Each structure stands twice: as structure tokens, then as C-alpha cells.
Structure 1
Amino acid sequence: MKRYEQRYGNRYGTPSRTPDAEPSGTRSGKQAGKRSGTARRVAVAAVVAGGLLLAGCSAGTPDSSRNGADKAPMRPAPAPPNPNGGPAASAAPDDGAAKDSSGDAQKHSQAVPSYLSTFALDVDTASYGYARRTLAGGRLPAADTVRQEEFVNSFRQDYPQPEGDGFTVTTDGARTDGEGIGTKSETNGDDKGGVKGTDSAGSWSLLRVGLATRSAQSGNRPPAAMTFVVDVSGSMAEPGRLDLVKQALGSSIDALRPEDSLAIVTFSGEARVELPMTRLGSVESRGRIHSVVDGLEPRDETNLAAGVQAGYNEAVKAARPGVTNRVVLLSDGLANSGDTTAAAILDRIGTARRDHGITLFGVGVSSQYGDKLMEQLADKGDGHTSYVAEPEAARRLFTEQLPANVDLRARDAKAQVAFDPQTVSEYRLIGFDDRTVANGDFRNDAVDGGEVGPGHTVTALYSVHLKPGASGHVATATVRWLDPSTRAPHEQSGTVEAAALTSPLWTAAPKRLQVDALAAYFADWLRNRGDADRLPGAPGLPALAEHATTLASSTEDPAVRELSQAVTQARHLAG
């Protein structure tokens, strides 16, 4: 049975290691699951001996699924934790176990078959926002700033929401090959349209796993203590940068409730507390806060570390039971003095994050943007990032979208998808490259996951190669999270059958799935343009532009029209 690397080349490094090959002890504590480096693109192992175990929850029976997972027959699912506290139990593979790119079988006596895909949830959207800004400025974005999952996260979904905290799990998909638009040659580099990676021995499909939290109820969230850490360094003097931040702050001041509190810290060469934590209860308080914001001016160098540390110091002072405590960093991420790495900056605030549960929301601005630093700070600071380039986007972020960026529905959320080796020969997770978690750490709550607020959705897309004549069960998707208040673990699962993956993507699949596919394939083109390392079933840029135009018209969604404009801009820039 072939691995993805064997079929399309060994561009992804060595094959994915199992938990036995990479024990959780190799990466310590809460940071182990956040950023593990290279993405895992793996093939499903051959039929495993002795059967497969049904998922079990270490804290009790998982929640029943709205998709009927609780009524489904026994299928491959995440392996339950070892009762002795070691790695997750697993069935041993037979002689057809997954092989690495050299063809040698993995030499681990109790290796977990590679039918599991595990990752921390990610609700970031900054990569897409920054790509749009870059394209509008007449440049293609740098490949290392493009993250497929953040493109997909940027679009509205229609997943059902749960009644309480936690998630619903929705699964569906479509066929991506054999739609009558031609097959792209994998040897001549022709990128004039068509699909890539079709195979007569079975078919490629796109599998979607959609997770959704319940939206915020009007007037029903806990009080919030918001500490805004504002970059006023010399780089923010570029026309429009600091003005955009000030407009965003003004919108937030007006949108927060009387019982909420707000503090403002600025930083350039050093950090200043411009406003200690102040309750917004009266008109006079709001007026005083607006005056502080209006008086912000750019100064000199960028000591981002000093600003973040001062912001967390203010947030700790305001920490009290029943209050959501969040630091909001507004910056271009171009640190040039003091500590300039995410690890060093996070070391300064480790106690505040761990002991007080203070989360970080990063908001990027400017055409010159330190994407990697802002992403690492937010991800490892138990938060997420967004990017704004115009006043209307800033207003939406700090008004309509404010509850989703303040409150929490789930902590340390992870997903694990178990593919059925009877029906699936290969699969590839699209994106989440830096979010992979060791399969055996799925239920290790000491390993960090993602923090998810109300009304958020997370969409994971997989390229899946079904075996010829495949029918029945394809995969079981399980999400695990901790209650934001009690930190009790919960799980929810959903399943998908082969019949759900047979409709042609661009002509018969739901419009929202088509939009997700368009966003993912566009990000894939931006990352791998002119490269053989495209996703199976990925159309070329001209075909993507046609699909984008059609979807912009049929959905009548302004966000899809913006995506269509971005694809068109990329096509013109590509020549």
C-alpha cells in the first residue's frame, strides 16, 4: 500500500512517525501539541490484525453525536488511552503496514497503524486577510505566509450549532476527479486547468469535517476585562496604520458593556500604561477612554516583548473569578528591540497564562506585517489571530465579532480523524501543518489544543483516495475539548460514508463546500505555484478563477466576491 510521499514524491520529508516513534515526552507540557513542524501526509495502513477498538473517553462516555455516531456500527476510531498511563493501545499492523518512502516497513514493534490524523483546532484567519492585502497591493504573498486552514476559516459555514458549550460535528464531501474537465499532466507542468492526481484505481474525493460552537446569546456572556496592547512604534507611523488601530479601539469601547473593563498599554522602545483597568459603567468613563485613544501617537523602536509583558501585568491585576480576561495585541509584528522571538516573549508571561488562564488575541495591521511572530504569539498564547486592512473590517471585528473574540466555549480543543483501511488507501490533511499533535496525545490534556470562542467554526478538509468499489464507512471524526470553566473533558463524534463522497464537487456539492474547496485550492496554489506538489484534484488557476466567478454570483456573498477578486488578481500577477 503506497504512502502519499511514494506516489507524489518525497517532498514532505520522512514519513509520519507514530506515537511510539515520537513519544509525547519529546515535547514538554502545554506547548507540545501546538506546533510540531512538518505536516503529516500519510497513507492508510493495510487491514490491521485483531480488529480495531472503539473510541472511549477517559472521563466517561463521550457525548452522543448529532450525526448518529452513537448509533453507528463499530468502526475505526481514536484508540482509547492505556489504563496504565502509557501510550494509547493499538492493534498491530500486518505485513501490509504502511511503508516509508524507501519502501522499508516501519520498525516499531507496537506501531500504531497510520489511519489516524490528529491536530489542534485553529480559528485563525490572519493569513487570508494578509494575502488579500498583498494581492491588492500588486504582489503575490510569500508562500510561507499562506496557511490553507486560515483561508477556509475566513468563510461563513452553515453547520448546526450545539445547545450548550462544546461542538457539533458535521461531515460531508464530494468527488474531485473525473468531472469531465480534463486531467492535468503531472509531468509537463501544464497549469491551464483541469485536475491533478486522478487515478483509475479508485477515486480522489474531498472530505469535510465541520465543527461549530454555539453563538453568543445576547447579554448572556460573563463580564470581560480587556487589556489592549497597542504598537505605537515608528513603523506604525506609516499613513493609516495607527489610525486604523485607533478606529478599532474606538469601536470596541462603544461595543463593550457597562460591566466590562478595559486597560490600554502602549509600547515602542518601552512600555507605558496609558490607562489602568477601568470599568466602562458610565458615560464619563467611556469619554475618558476615548480621549486616551485619540491621544496615541507613534514614537520610536519596537519593543514588543515589553508591551506584551506590561499588558499581561495589567491583566493579572484585574483577574477575578467569573470574568473573562483577555489581552488584545494590535501590532504590525515587526519587533526590533528587546526580546524578538515568540519563545522569549512567551517565557516572560508564562505564569500569567498558566495560573490565570489569560488568553491572547492578536490583530495584525499594515502592508509590512510580521506574520510569523504574531501567529506564534497567539497560538502559543492560547489565542488566535486576525488581520485587518480597512476601517470597515476593523469595525466588524470589534463590534459584531467581538463576543467570539472575547468569550470561550472550549479550551485545548483537538480533533482526531480515524480512516477506515477497508475503504481508504490514502489521505492528506489540507493545512494545519503546524498544528499536528501526536496521535497518542489526543486524550493527553497536558498537551495543548486550541481555544475556541462562541459562534466559531473550524473546517478540516482532507484529500481522500478511496479504494476501487469502496462502500460503507470511510472515517470517524472526534473532537475533544475541556470545559472553559471546570476543565472537564468532553467529546463529540461524527461519521462519514463512501456514498457521501460521490457527487461531483463543482456541479453537485453544497455551495458552502464548494467555497471551502475554492479557498483551500487557492491557498494551495499560492503555496505551491509552479510546483508538482499540488493537492490531488486541485484545479489550475484559470479553472479556479472560473469557479470563483460562478460562486460569487450564485452565493451572493460579499466575502465570496472578495475571494473571487483575489483569485483574479493572482491570475493577472501570475501572467
Structure 2
Amino acid sequence: MERQDSPPARLRGARFPAVVAALLAAGLAVGGCGAGGSNTDRTSARDLKGGSAAPDGGRTATAAPQEGEQRSPSPAPDYLSTFALDVDTASYGYARRALAEGRLPDPGTVRPEEFVNSFRPDYPRPKDNGFSVTLDGARTGADGWSLLRVGLATRGADRNAERPPAALTFVVDVSGSMKEPGRLDLVKESLGLLAGELRDDDSVALVTFSDEAETRLPMTRVGGARDRIREAVGALETSSSTNVEAGVRTGYDTAVAGHRKGATNRVVLLSDALANTGDTEAESILARIDEERREYGITLFGVGVGSEYGDDFMERLADKGDGQTTYVSNAAQARKVFVDQLPANVELRARDARAQVAFDRRTVEKFRLIGYENRAVADEDFRNDRVDGGEIGAGHTVTALYAVKTRPGAAGPVATATVRWLDPATRAPSERSGSVATGSLSLAGDIWGDGHDSLQLTAIAAYFADALRGGDLPGDPGLRALAERAGAIADRSGSAVVRELADAVRQAEGLLPEKGQNPSQEGELKSGDPYS
């Protein structure tokens, strides 16, 4: 499993696979955990309510309906969970920075899905440009409760294959607050590295902003201009106030002027997002971003820096711009974002990607999706392709973790997960599904048992995030146990990024109040369910 950079289940703009990877990745690849589900091509919502457990322990595939075939009725809405896909990781990166400085992150900035998606499980990869769908899970130790993991993955980038050219407009915050070490200096180093990685046919523009915005470099082909690009970056210096509105407006003006048909057109905003001049409420900025997204397909990627960081502000901008966010605090992370993962994020695999998980009421008593609160999509809009979803790039994984309480003695299907997406070029819709049954959860045993490193790491990240925002998920072993288990995985794998997780959990343990001060928020079904 490796660190990945980079949806709240909200009706939101689709997330793009930023040309500069939203991946703070390192090279850990621990094995998957046993009880897996399968995936099938272009499947529908038919048979989501079940049938008997499959002989292979729940690796049940659903077949695509033939032309003219009527789908079977879907489960009752109370047993559906629908959300837009997301590969953001900024929340986790910023939380680690805060904890390392001896302070707790604001609970409002803690998004569990971004903690979970900061690590890349070793899911099977599809051979085509769609998704693989893997379901697995194990018991938590709490009475009747299991963790169910839904894993989605795309095929990696072919480094020898041609990719579309990139047209990147970098919008750089040079306000006074960016003078702090680890802000503008880190941005300059990152862009300098990037200048050596882009292809000759790619294009770059550079806009800066403080109290006003300025275009330092119009859209310029990289071939023959690398030194010019480096000189423009090297000349960046801090100035006064932070007028994000002016920067974004000028950035999009520059991106529109340099728009290239058939290219990957992106605005990349690098800032601490601490707006204090101009329109700081973001409404006019959001309107402009949405306009250019719709008309020109220009999307926004936000890279956050700084010990003080406007997380909510950056998140709103990226959401409206069909974009994503990541956070970097040191040169190693910046190199991974701007250099190591660049090829994988120029190549788009899916647009408007959404997932729907259908739970079987005969076996499931309660369930709760951990995180994704602001990525929700209305259940009835799952197949409404006018509703925005997430944009997913080559080699990305998306993980959703559920706390599920099964009925005593129940056996059979537990859940079926279906992912729907649009082809980036043709916008033709496709679907794939995977299922899991009670037999898989029983055979897997306790989540903290041997052989579950991959699932354990997902669980540790989720429980850690939930603790930081004051939750009380079923089966939570406490921060000390989470730190020990993360440390054990780091020892077995040699992974530096898992070691960072273990350190962050230990730091949180020393800052959080004693467990038990918060009332239980045990996973509840949606209101109105007759079985709650």
C-alpha cells in the first residue's frame, strides 16, 4: 500500500486528475486482505438486493442487462449510499503538519476519506480504461460490527504511450504570508523541478497575486523555453496582501487566452488560501471558476502550503472547478506531487465518476459511511449524468470504508457496490459492480488479526480521523493501539509514510482528551428506515 495524493458525498463538481498529481505517494505495496469482491463490466443495479451467498464467499458478479431488458427494482433508498469519487488528500497532510507543531487540527478540516485515500491499497488493476471494483472487510471486535471496504482502481499510465499535451496555468500566491519558510520557497523549488519534467509540446503560463494579480508568463510552449520558465519562477518574491479573487480571475483569463483544444487545460493554484483582500467570501470566484469549467473544460487543482492554511476556502474553489486539493509541507512531498506522479495525472481515465453501495436489509441492520459527508449524491441521481462526479486519473485508487452491523445469525449477501463513469473522450457511460457476502467477513476473522495489513492500514487512517473530529466509531481500539499497529506495519513493510502515520497518531494521543468524553455516535441508518 502506498501513499496517494490525491468526494463529501455532496452534489459537487467532478474532481479532475490533476496534471500535477494529487499524490503524496511513496512506494509501499502491502498485500490485500483476503476477503475480496469481484468486478464485472458495464453492470447495472439489477440483483443488488441479493440472492444466496456465492460459493466463493461473496465474490459475486452481476451481469449487464441485455438491450431492452428491464432492471430489477433497486433496494429501498434507506439501504443505498451514493457519493462522488474523490482523490483529495489535503486534509491528512495538513493534520500531520498541525500535529507535528504540537496542536490539534480544527475538527472541521478533518475529512476521513482524505486520510483513507492518502494510502493506496494494492487493489487489482483493470486491463482497460475503466475501474476494478473490490469489496473486502473483517470483524471489528465490537458486537456485530464489521468494517467493509469498497476499493476502486484504474489502470496505471503507460509511460511509453502518447498522452495529450498539457496546458497549465500556475497561479502563485506571493502575498506577505507566503514569506514563511515552507511556503513560497517550496513553491519555487517545485515549479523549478517541474520545468524539467514537462514535455516540449506542453505549455505553461505563470500568474502571481498579492494585493493585485499579474501575468508573469503568457501561455508558452515548453520546448525551447525551459530556461525562460525557470527565470520567471526564480524571480518570484513576496509582496503584501492576499487577493485570491484577483489571482483566480487573472489566472482563468490567462488560461482561456492560452486554451488548447485537445489538451489537458488546468489552473494550478498554489497558496496558503488565507484571503484577506478583495472578495474573500469566494462567491464571485466560484462563479467564474464554474463558468470556465463549463465552457472550456478548464479545471482547478489546489496545492496548499503553510502552517496556517485556508482549508475550507481551497476546498470550495477546487470543488467548483471540478478539481482536487493536496497539501505539501516539505521538499520531498513537493517532488512527489510535481515530479514523480506527473505522467499518471495527465492521462484521464474517468469523468463524473460516482459510486453507489446497496446493502441487503436481510443481513444488514445498520451501516455508516466513514467520511464523504460533503461528497454526497442523491441516490436517485446515481445514473443522472448531468450531475457532477469525480474525475479520476491513471493509476488512482479510491477507497470508501463502511461500519456495518450485520443481523445476528444472518447469512448471505451484504452489499453490492457499483461505480458509474463517463468516458473522457466520448462521454459514453459505463458501470462495473462487485459484491461481498457474510461468508467473506466471517472467514476474514478479526480485522486486527494476522494477514490484514492492507485493511488494517485503511482502518487505522479512518479511526484516526474519526478521533480527531470527536467521533466514536464502533470497534475503535483507541489511539495508543492504532499507533502500535501502524508502527508494526511500518516495521514489516519498511514504509516511511506508514511510519509518519504512526508518529502522527502518537502526537494526537498526547493532545486529545481522554476517550469517553464524547457520546457514542454508533453508526445509524438513514432516518425513516423501518429496521433502524
TM range (shorter): 0.7 to 0.9
| Aligned equivalent of 2:222 | 280
C-alpha separation in 2, matches of 1:54 and 1:71: 8
C-alpha separation in 2, matches of 1:427 and 1:559: 30
1:93-115 deviation digits (Å, cap 9, x = unpaired): xxxxxxxxxxxxxxxxxxx4301
Q: CA RMSD in A?
A: 2.5
Among 554, 560, 568, the alignment partner of 2:492 is 554
Among 69, 94, 98, the alignment partner of 1:130 is 94
Among 152, 155, 158, the alignment partner of 1:211 is 152
Rg bigger for which structure?
Answer: 1
C-alpha separation in 1, matches of 2:420 and 2:171: 32
| 1:381-460 pair list within 5 angstroms | 381-460=321-400
Amino acid at match of 1:207: L
1:325-348 deviation digits (Å, cap 9, x = unpaired): 111110001011122234321212
Amino acid at match of 2:169: T
Asked if structure 2 preserves the Cα contact closer than 8 Å seen for 1:173 and 1:509, the reply is: no
Q: Percent identity?
A: 61
DSSP-derived class of the 2:269 partner: strand
Q: How far apart are residue 429 of structure 1 and its match?
A: 0.2
Amino acid at match of 1:215: G
Asked if structure 1 preserves the Cα contact closer than 8 Å seen for 2:82 and 2:356, the reply is: yes
Among 539, 542, 548, the alignment partner of 2:477 is 539
Asked if structure 2 preserves the Cα contact closer than 8 Å seen for 1:326 and 1:406, the reply is: no
Distance 1:555 1:206, change over 3 A: same
| 1:106-185 pair list within 5 angstroms | 112-177=76-141
C-alpha separation in 1, matches of 2:157 and 2:316: 27
Amino acid at match of 1:151: F
C-alpha separation in 1, matches of 2:506 and 2:375: 30
Q: How far apart are residue 386 of structure 1 and its match?
A: 0.5
DSSP-derived class of the 2:245 partner: helix
| Aligned equivalent of 2:182 | 240
C-alpha separation in 2, matches of 1:493 and 1:259: 38
| Aligned equivalent of 1:356 | 296
Q: How far apart are residue 401 of structure 1 and its match?
A: 1.5
| Aligned equivalent of 1:69 | 61
| 1:86-97 pair list within 5 angstroms | none
Q: How far apart are residue 212 of structure 1 and its match?
A: 0.6
Asked if structure 2 preserves the Cα contact closer than 8 Å seen for 1:525 and 1:534, the reply is: yes
C-alpha separation in 2, matches of 1:236 and 1:91: 52
The TM-score, its normalising length taken from structure 1, stands at 0.77
Asked if structure 1 preserves the Cα contact closer than 8 Å seen for 2:182 and 2:305, the reply is: no
Following TM superposition, the consecutive aligned residue runs of length 4 or more in structure 1 with deviations greater than 4 angstroms are 30-34, 88-92
| Aligned equivalent of 1:504 | 446
Higher relative contact order (CA 8 A, sep 6+): 2
Q: How far apart are residue 304 of structure 1 and its match?
A: 0.5
Matched, 1:332 2:262: no
Distance 1:521 1:263, change over 3 A: same
C-alpha separation in 1, matches of 2:160 and 2:324: 24
The TM-score, its normalising length taken from structure 2, stands at 0.83
Name stretches of at least 5 consecutive residues in structure 2 with no aligned partner: 1-9, 16-43, 49-57, 514-532
Asked if structure 2 preserves the Cα contact closer than 8 Å seen for 1:333 and 1:371, the reply is: yes
C-alpha separation in 2, matches of 1:321 and 1:302: 32
1:245-281 deviation digits (Å, cap 9, x = unpaired): 1011111111111111111011111111000011111
C-alpha separation in 1, matches of 2:74 and 2:440: 28
C-alpha separation in 1, matches of 2:258 and 2:112: 37
1:357-410 deviation digits (Å, cap 9, x = unpaired): 111111000000000011111122101110000011101110111234433211
Asked if structure 2 preserves the Cα contact closer than 8 Å seen for 1:174 and 1:509, the reply is: no
Q: How far apart are residue 315 of structure 1 and its match?
A: 1.5
Amino acid at match of 1:244: L
Q: How far apart are residue 55 of structure 1 and its match?
A: 6.5
C-alpha separation in 1, matches of 2:346 and 2:270: 15
Instruction: Give the length in aligned residue pairs.
Output: 463
